């Protein structure tokens, strides 16, 4: 009986559909990011769990680096008119606006 179970198991493995392997190899579509630096940080306010920014120019995303991990926020979701507030899991160590160089906050 055990031998019959083993034979049936190996027959099942041999006839298993192969389309599962194809779907796991699919590459995610890359998200387009801005390629220029059109914004400038004018003012930064820090607390342990919040970052406040005043930005001049046009920006689409803000990346906040913390020791607990990085956060990426869309500017349309975290503020408007150049003023932005982002809640963080810990103190921010650096920020980056779009493709601009990162600003060290330490």
Give the per-residue pLDDT at 19. Answer: 46
Q: What is the DSSP letter of 27?
A: P
Give the per-residue pLDDT at 25. Answer: 40
Query: What phi and psi values does residue 80 have, to the nearest 5 degrees?
Result: -160, 165
| Residues 97, 55 contacting (CB under 8 angstroms) | yes
Element (H, E) at 24: helix 19-24
pTM summary value: 0.62
pLDDT tens for residues 78-105? 888 888 999 988 888 999 998 888 888 8
pLDDT tens for residues 2-27? 888 878 777 776 775 544 444 444 44
């Amino acid at each position: 009986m055990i031998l019959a179970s083993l034979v049936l198991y190996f027959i099942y493995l041999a006839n298993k559909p192969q389309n599962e392997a194809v779907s796991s190899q699919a590459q995610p579509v890359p998200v387009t990011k801005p390629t220029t630096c059109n914004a400038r940080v004018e003012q930064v306010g820090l607390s342990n769990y919040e970052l406040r920014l005043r930005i001049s120019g046009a920006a689409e995303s803000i990346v906040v680096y913390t020791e607990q991990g990085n956060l990426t926020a869309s500017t349309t979701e975290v503020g408007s008119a150049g003023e932005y507030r982002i809640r963080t899991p810990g103190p921010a160590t650096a920020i980056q606006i779009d493709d601009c160089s990162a600003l060290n906050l330490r």
